[in-house]
Amino acid sequence: MLVVSPFEVISIFLMSILAGLVGAVFGLGGGILIIPFLTLVEGVPVPYAVGASIVSVVATSSASAATYVQDRLTNLRLGMFLEVGTVLGAITGAFVAAFLAPGILLVLFGILLIYASTIMIVGRRVDFPSGVVPDRISRRLRLGGEYFDPATGATSRYEVTNTLRTLSISGISGIVSGLLGIGGGIIGVPTMNLLSKVPVKVASATSNFMIGVTAAASASVYFVRGDVQPLLVAPLMVGVVVGAAVGTRLLRRTPPLRVKLLFAILLVTVSVAMILKGFFPQIVL
């Protein structure tokens, strides 16, 4: 049984508010920041850190998904179709995680952080893809859609293509989510945008929508296994909801490159610490 002191509960609560805020600024999910904090700073065993994080991911994603769905930014059909891949992957990942040494998971997470910081700096995005020809499955399932962009004040129509490849990458992003306790948006959004040619705003809204179900799938496995510790998950759940609520209201602009670079350097430092801890578990920050 994990012993958690009142002081740790308060620090997790404050940290999760910060994670929600910072995540909203840089477009990262809370999990990417919460897992390193729990494992490196609080010394929480990896399965408990992942279990608590994945439950909080359900909360943040559901909270923001509600807003996007109401604004009709979300492509419900595409989301529900790709969920077949993410949910299957998430359950697989959550099961496999139990058989992997914690060190391996820490190293994988470190690699993921390096990927995330790279995407943040050099990630390409297509705001308004044009001339997209939908493939057969996309036509059959009527995956294309239209959305109203408040920034331009116009409704634009878009098509969806490369359906099967996007579905398989969704499966991979589900596995990563189930293994490491993150939502998987850093994989899902670029895939939908660059491969399926979905406008970036629709891609992030749809990814957010899918993450709730994806994380619920792996959270079920962790919960039933007993890896969801009440004193870790309670402050986290309250904190991320507060943080995300403040974050989405406060921040609409993307930060300047200099700030992004600083943050990326921080992420890479954290990732080195995680990889080191993966190899030498006795390291405590």
Partner 1 sequence: MDLNRIVAQSLRVGVLVSAVLSLLGLSLWAFGGFGSVSVPAVLSVGVIIGLAFTGDLTGIVYLGVIVLIATPIFRVAISSIYFAAERDRAYAGITILVLGMLLLALYSGAAG
Which residues of this chain interact with partner 1, rule CB under 8 A?
A: 1, 3-6, 9, 55, 58-59, 62-63, 65-67, 69-70, 72, 74, 76-77, 80-81, 83-84, 87-88, 91, 94, 140-141, 212-213, 215-221, 223-226, 228-231, 233-235, 237-238, 241
Nearer to partner 1, 117 or 196 (CB): 196
Minimum CB distance to partner 1, residue 277 (Å): 26
Minimum CB distance to partner 1, residue 190 (Å): 23
The residue type at 137: I
Structure tokens at 45: 């065993």
Structure tokens at 203: 């891609």
Nearer to partner 1, 43 or 226 (CB): 226
Cα–Cα nearest to 61, from 92, 19, 30: 30
Nearer to partner 1, 125 or 140 (CB): 140
Helix segments in 123-199, DSSP class H: 136-140, 163-180, 185-190
Nearer to partner 1, 17 or 275 (CB): 17
Minimum CB distance to partner 1, residue 263 (Å): 27
Minimum CB distance to partner 1, residue 111 (Å): 26
For residue 161, what are the CA distances in angstroms to 74, 134, 187?
17, 5, 17
Minimum CB distance to partner 1, residue 77 (Å): 7
Minimum CB distance to partner 1, residue 234 (Å): 4
Residue 157: strand, helix, or coil: strand
**Radius of gyration for the alpha carbons in the chain, expressed in angstroms and rounded:** 18
The residue type at 114: I
| Sign of the torsion angle spanned by Cα atoms 114, 222, 34, 66 | positive
**Packing angle between helix 46-70 and helix 76-97, nearest 10 degrees?**
180
Nearer to partner 1, 91 or 274 (CB): 91
Residue 158: strand, helix, or coil: strand
What does the alpha-carbon distance between residue 235 and residue 226 come to, in Å, rounded to a whole number? 18
Nearer to partner 1, 6 or 150 (CB): 6
Nearer to partner 1, 49 or 228 (CB): 228
Going through the chain in order, the beta strands assigned E by DSSP cover 145-149, 154-158
Minimum CB distance to partner 1, residue 258 (Å): 34
What does the alpha-carbon distance between residue 170 and residue 165 come to, in Å, rounded to a whole number? 9
